[in-house]
């Protein structure tokens, strides 16, 4: 018996990131848009603003001429129709972002001086479907297994009411995380399996009575049947062995008798 619950995969929007002197991290969920803000005073007098990623130019703003150019055909077209710049503020917007857009983005501002600042954009994949199944080989208690694929920084936790019971995470991508939970039958606490990444989470609450039926109702009859089949098979094997043995003894003694008979004349 296998109980399976599919969690809905929701993509919650969450965004953070402020401009400063160091590399600023900006986290975003795939499918969302991210705008890299450049709130610095030098922009007001800047005449040229360049945006680069991986050493290649993706946008160029000529502020004096109030003109901008987007170079989105490189990178296998992954930026095609996804880039927008604001001619005045210099902000770069990446729309409908994907995990392929994870990386460093550099803005180079030319006024009297040339300044540059770097953003580290981290794109989190939507939390994937996760499921809970019951370990049907366990009968004395109910053992549930919650599992999910690690897309990026995914962790899996079991909660009893609001307290954390156990959690797990791995660094390797596309590895399936599995976390068991053992409960007694008739346990009335609320348990939940929580899947999260640094931006979002999804929670599945469990009703133990619904998912943990005592084995006698479902499993023991199966094991009973198996035992009966095993008994019948071993009995048959036993009978067959005895039969072969008896036949063997009988035919051997017959052969001896024939040998003796052929010697005597
Ligand atoms: C820049 O050009 C756009 C149209 O191309 C115009 O609407 C806008 O007012 C201009 N801004 C400045 C500051 O010249
Ligand atoms: C920015 O420049 C582009 C092309 O140079 C122009 O088409 C666009 O209208 C400008 N946008 C604004 C908000 O000034
Ligand atoms: C967002 O990008 C995906 C592919 O990465 C595409 O399938 C989808 O249609 C795009 N959505 C919008 C609203 O542009
Ligand atoms: C488990 O949860 C604790 C407390 O929230 C956290 O400090 C720890 O990093 C987590 N471990 C894993 C493997 O997710
Ligand atoms: C899940 O996310 C919600 C809202 O973002 C937050 O209030 C809640 O504490 C999170 N739960 C866990 C277990 O991380």
> Who wins on pLDDT, 244 or 209?
209
pTM: 0.71
Q: How far is the CA of 18 from the centre of ligand 2 (A)?
A: 25
Average pLDDT over residues 222-228: 46
For residue 61, which ligand has an atom nearest its CA? 2
**What mean pLDDT comes out for the span 237-251?**
55
| 8 A C-beta contact, residue 136 and residue 71 | no
DSSP string, 134-174: E-TT--SSEEEEEEEE-SSS-EEEEEETTEEEEEEE-SSTT
Whether the CB of 66 sits within 6 Å of ligand 1: yes
* pLDDT: which is higher, 44 or 14: 44
Length of the chain in terms of residues written: 265
Tell me, what's the pLDDT at 264?
42
Report whether residue 188 contacts ligand 1, using a CB cutoff of 6 Å: no
- Mean pLDDT estimate for the chain: 80
* Ligand 3 centroid from CA 96, angstroms: 6
Task: Report phi then psi at 3, rounded to 5.
Answer: -100, 130
pLDDT of residue 161: 93
- Does the Cβ of 151 fall within 6 Å of ligand 4? no
155-160 and 191-196 beta bridge pairing: antiparallel
Cβ atoms of residues 146 and 178 within 8 Å: yes
Q: 17-64, pLDDT tens digit by residue? A: 334 468 999 999 999 999 999 877 777 788 899 999 999 999 999 988
Q: How far apart are the C-alpha atoms of 118 and 32, rounded to whole Å? A: 20
pLDDT digits (tens, 9 = 90+) for 149-208: 999 999 999 999 999 999 999 999 999 999 999 999 888 899 999 999 999 999 999 988
Taking only the tens place, the pLDDT of each residue in 95-116 is 999 999 999 999 999 988 888 9
How many other C-beta atoms can be found within 10 angstroms of the C-beta atom of residue 65? 9
Contact 203, 192 (CB under 8 A): yes
């Amino acid at each position: 018996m296998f109980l399976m619950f599919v969690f809905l995969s929701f993509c919650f929007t969450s965004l953070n990131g402020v401009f400063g002197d160091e590399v600023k991290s900006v986290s975003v969920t795939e499918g969302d848009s991210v705008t890299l803000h450049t709130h610095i005073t030098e922009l007001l007098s800047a005449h040229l603003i360049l945006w680069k990623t991986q050493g290649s130019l993706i946008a160029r703003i000529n502020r004096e001429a109030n003109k901008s150019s987007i170079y989105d055909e490189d990178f296998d077209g992954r930026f095609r129709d996804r880039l927008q710049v604001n001619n005045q503020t210099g902000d770069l917007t990446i729309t409908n972002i994907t995990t392929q857009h994870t990386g460093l983005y550099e803005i180079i501002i030319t006024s009297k001086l040339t300044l540059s600042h770097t953003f580290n954009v981290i794109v989190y994949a939507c939390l994937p479907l996760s499921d809970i199944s019951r370990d049907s080989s366990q009968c004395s208690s109910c053992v549930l297994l919650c599992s999910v694929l690690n897309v990026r920084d995914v962790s899996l936790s079991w909660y009893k009411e609001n307290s954390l019971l156990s959690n797990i995470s791995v660094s390797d991508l596309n590895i399936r995380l599995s976390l068991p939970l053992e409960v007694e039958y008739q346990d009335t606490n609320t348990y939940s399996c929580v899947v999260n990444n640094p931006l979002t989470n999804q929670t599945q609450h469990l009703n133990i009575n619904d998912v943990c039926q005592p084995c006698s109702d479902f499993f023991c009859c199966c094991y009973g049947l198996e035992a009966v089949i095993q008994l019948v098979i071993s009995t048959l094997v036993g009978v067959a062995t005895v039969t072969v043995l008896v036949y063997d003894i009988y035919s051997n003694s017959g052969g001896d008798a024939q040998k003796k008979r052929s010697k005597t004349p």
